[in-house]
Amino acid sequence: METNASLQKEISVEREASEIFEEFKELTPSEFFRRNKQMLGFSGKIRSLTIVFHELITNSIDAAEEAGILPEMVIDLKRVDKDHYILRHQDNGPGIPEPFITKVFCTMFAGSKFRNIQSRGQQGLGCSGCVLLSQMTTGQPVKIRSGYKEGNKIKGVEMTVKMDVKTNQGLILDRKEIELDSTGVSMELHFKDVSYSLSEQGAFEYIRRTMIANPHAKIVFKDPTGNRYIFDRATDEIPPMPKEVLPHPKGVTADDLIFMAKHTDKRRFRSMLTSSLSRMSNKRVDELEEITGIDFNKRPKDMKWEEAEKIVELFQSMDFMAPPTAGLIPIGQDQVEKGMKEILEPEYVKTITRNPKTYKGGVSFVIEAGLAYGGKSGRVVGEQKKAEIMRFANRVPLTFDQGSCGITEALKSIDWKRYGIRDLENAPITVFVNIVSTHVPYMSTGKQSVAPEAEIMQEVRQATMKIARSLQKYLNAKRAAKEEAMRAQIFETLVPVVLKEAAILAERDVPEYTDVMAKVTRKPKILGGVTDDE
Amino acid sequence: MMNRRDFTLAKLKGLGNTIIDDVEKNTVPSLKVPSRGTSNIVYDEAKRYYVLGDRYGQRSLGNVKQIKKVAQMVSMANFCKVLVETQKTATMRETYYVSEGWDVDFGSQDESNLVGEDLEVTLGVTREDLGLMPEEDGASVYGNITMKDDDVEINASKTGKSGYSISPTIDDVEFVDHDVQRVIAVETMGMFHRMVQEKAYKKFDTLIVGLKGQAARATRRFLKRVNEELHLPVYICNDGDPWGFHIAMVIISGSAKLAHVNHDLATPDAKFMGVTASDIINYDLPTDPLKDIDVLRLKELAKDPRYRNEFWQNEIKKMLKIGKKAEQQSFSKYGLEYVVDTYFPEKLDSM
């Protein structure tokens, strides 16, 4: 009874809808991410700084490559106070023209990468995300210098900007033109609540791994203690730019089809399909038409949702050629090898780039793998060397969520004992795996682990097992050589012992035995007769 | 005929000569070591004990694993040579410790024991010949037999109630005199003392031997020597169970493990007196039921070539059938004297 009464009471304070909707607001992307910075990967002090390095480095490399320049960066991390750092990041890319500077640094979801193309970054959150973090933790503006070509001259501009979160726009606090003799962007950002670490998840390791997957890049890094590390490039080859490829029928959804139909310039649905999907021939469209009974000659805009659904469903059961792979640019096994050699100085290294395969029937991908043994391979834990797994997606190191990653799972499912590695965990080995795809199936927004798609797991296993066989051969040969040396050593010590004792036993002198010794040390196997050791 | 000592020394020297000769001929020395693997242990029906077959393994200087064994063998051979020359003995344990000072050592005593056995089979001599002695003394002997050990004369009826303890160096002991007709060996010291107390040595003109369980090498060697040198029949009386059977059988036909020295250890003419399964029934002895492990062991014995004759097959079957076993001391059900007064005379008569 009482509950009823209290209910009555509440009803009496009921507000009208109009009253509530007075508070209805639209969030700008900047405001949204200010409230949900973990969605940009900024969670935890170490991780936050690593993500900053990741965003800035990938942007610099992408920009340089697009301009056909060998990427080079100078990064300087200064520690002002506990958890308070100043980061200076400078690259040699093409620079950013002045009108775009505030867009790049202060507007979320502005960028050039919203295409069906293999690229490092993808969402246009990189730079602006870092500026957001800086501003949120320190209130400081960001200082930017950009040098870019205009005609034959290099134009230089220096700006101090802030992000207006409410409007998702940049605010220019200061601006002046400066003289620069080369192109590129440099920036200075303040951060608090971040932490520099040498751990596997830390910023230093991130740079090291980046260098392995990008042997054409050069990074000079000054750490907070003042140490200067020069990661030199291992090759002068700039990787070719990936081409944009049309989506494959098996990879599209009904919503994708409707979206294409809305934005196409084609006048008939038939020609829209053949021009916006790969591997889509007129013959295939005829087949679709016959089975569905849909009129494929109607205007794209007249396509109904139910029809799109029916078509997508049919795609799954039809045979299409595998998607074109021109869009995929792997690092290449030679380049991976160069990268691993440069950074790990291993005793032995073997790499492989596999042929393209597809997962989910229509998304093509390439797996590259490398194994390095000895030297600086593996990571040092206390006094011991442990194996390390380096995962990459489109050359970008995946440093977090290793446990839940399909790549890790695939590697752990390999029976390493078969390849002469008794205990992978405790071997001085670095395993490198890079997945190249226009759509890497990430597990979450953090983009740090790859979903365990059966086809991807299979490829990772195949690739790694293939090079593990080579490593096994090397290890066997090494073992054999060591045994050979030990064998010789054994003969050289024991032959004199046997002869001395035998001479005492026979009460004779030790005979000259140079010939016998020579015969013995050269003999690889048992000397004739049956061996029957218990 | 060469005495055992000179024979052993000649064999040891020969081992050295084989190696030095090969080297002088510029060939890589290689020793033939008779194989002691189970596949090379065969039961010799004529000899009535286990012998080694004719398979052998190589110990070559040219093989990285075998050369170490050769080095260990010649080192131990030299150690034994000194023992034999100076008429000393060393236990296997002592030998293992001494080896620590050699140029090549052993990982464990098991390893040095194995090399000792290699030396035995390669040279065809026993480890006692080589001066290598087991740790334990042999059995106790009571009765009128006089032996000479070095310069000391011992009479086994004058060494106290526990009798004369068979020394590991029994081969150096000389039999001087005796006035007995037979030897009765019993499994337990309890039965040994019963027989001494009841003066069984007088009643049966016998030596009494207390085996103390599985007979030591020295004991077996003693029994073989009294049987062959003094032509005394040997009777064995053990508990009436598979383990008692087998203690007797090892004395009679030797063990598989020591196939290479059975010609010196086995006494094929020794007789098993009891306790048999038939005794259990005929004398209505107090019994224990057979345990699973007893049944298993009996079934194993039934398949063993040493138990192939009718007597053993019948007794094993009978014991399995009644499902019971009895200790030799269970005769005391009929009074302490019964075993000596009634059982032994009846059994000796029937054999």
Is B20 within 8 Å of A501 when comparing Cβ atoms? Answer: no
Residues A94, A154: contact at Cβ < 8 Å? no
Tell me the ipTM for this assembly. 0.78
Beta strands in A67-207 (DSSP E): 72-81, 84-91, 142-150, 153-164, 169-178, 184-192
Q: What is chain A's pLDDT, residue by residue, as a tens digit (534 residues)?
A: 445 555 555 555 677 777 777 777 777 777 877 777 777 778 889 989 998 999 899 989 988 988 899 999 999 999 998 889 999 999 999 999 998 898 888 887 665 554 556 666 555 567 888 998 999 999 999 999 999 998 889 999 999 999 888 888 888 999 999 999 999 999 999 999 999 998 888 999 999 999 999 999 999 999 999 999 999 998 998 888 877 788 888 888 888 888 888 888 888 888 988 888 888 888 888 888 888 888 888 888 888 899 889 998 888 888 888 788 777 889 999 999 999 999 999 999 999 999 989 888 778 899 999 999 999 998 888 788 889 999 999 999 998 888 889 999 999 999 999 898 888 888 899 999 999 998 899 887 678 899 999 999 999 999 999 999 999 999 999 888 888 888 888 888 999 999 999 999 999 999 999 888 888 887 444 444 444 443
Quick count: other Cβ atoms within 10 Å of Cβ B341? 16
Q: B-contacting residues of A 461-520, CB under 8 Å?
A: 487, 490-491, 494-495, 497-508, 510-513, 515-516, 519-520
Helix (H) or strand (E) holding A357: strand A357-359
User: What is the C-alpha separation between A215 and A342, in angstroms, rounded?
Assistant: 8
- Three-state SS across A413-452? CCCHHHHCCCCHHHCCEEEEEEEEECCCCECCCCCCCECC
Q: What is the pLDDT of residues B17-34, one digit of tens each?
A: 999 999 999 999 999 999
**Which residues fall within 8 angstroms of residue A327, CB to CB, at 6 or more apart?**
A116, A117, A118, A242, A243, A244, A245, A364, A438
Distance spanning both ends of chain B, measured CA to CA? 36
**Which residues fall within 8 angstroms of residue B9, CB to CB, at 6 or more apart?**
B81, B84, B85
B27 chain-A contacts, CB cut-off 8 A:
516
**Which residues fall within 8 angstroms of residue A426, CB to CB, at 6 or more apart?**
A384, A385, A386, A387
Q: Which domains does chain B have, with CATH numbers?
A: 4-133 (1.10.10.10), 140-350 (3.40.1360.10)
Q: Which amino acid makes up residue A286?
A: D
Quick count: other Cβ atoms within 10 Å of Cβ B3? 8
User: What is the C-alpha separation between A308 and A311, in angstroms, rounded?
Assistant: 5
User: What is the C-alpha separation between B339 and B200, in angstroms, rounded?
Assistant: 10
Is B28 within 8 Å of A529 when comparing Cβ atoms? Answer: no
Place of tokens 């940049």: A170
What is the DSSP secondary structure assignment for residue A324, as one 8-state letter?
A: P
Is B74 within 8 Å of A502 when comparing Cβ atoms? Answer: yes
User: What is the C-alpha separation between A224 and A99, in angstroms, rounded?
Assistant: 34
How distant is the Cα of B38 from the closest Cα of chain A, in angstroms? 8
B16 chain-A contacts, CB cut-off 8 A:
501-508
Residues A50, A191: contact at Cβ < 8 Å? no
B81 chain-A contacts, CB cut-off 8 A:
505
User: What is the C-alpha separation between B2 and B318, in angstroms, rounded?
Assistant: 49
Q: A-contacting residues of B 69-128, CB under 8 Å?
A: 70-71, 74-75, 77-78, 81, 103-104, 114
Q: Which domains does chain A have, with CATH numbers?
A: 29-231 (3.30.565.10), 249-317 (1.10.8.50), 333-475 (3.30.230.10)
How distant is the Cα of A492 from the closest Cα of chain B, in angstroms? 11
Across the interface, of A497, A508, A527, the residue whose CB is closest to B103 is A497
Q: A-contacting residues of B 15-74, CB under 8 Å?
A: 15-17, 19-20, 22-24, 26-30, 35-37, 40, 55-58, 60-68, 70-71, 74
Instruction: Give the alpha-carbon dihedral of B251, B253, B257, B260, to 10 degrees.
Output: 110
User: Of A497, A392, A405, which is closest to residue A434 (Cα–Cα)?
Assistant: A392
Quick count: other Cβ atoms within 10 Å of Cβ B268? 16
- Counting other chains too, the contacts that B282-285 makes at CB distance below 8 Å and 24 or more residues apart are B283/B331, B283/B343, B285/B240, B285/B326, B285/B330, B285/B331, B285/B333
Across the interface, of B35, B60, B67, the residue whose CB is closest to A490 is B67
Residues A192, A136: contact at Cβ < 8 Å? no
Structure-token pair, residue A156: 């230089």
How distant is the Cα of A373 from the closest Cα of chain B, in angstroms? 29
Residues A126, A120: contact at Cβ < 8 Å? no
Question: HSE on the CB side for B101, CA within 13 Å?
Answer: 5
Report CA-CA distances (Å) from A476 to A11, A482, A491. 81, 10, 22
Please state the φ and ψ torsions of residue A401, each to the nearest 5 degrees.
Answer: 50, 35
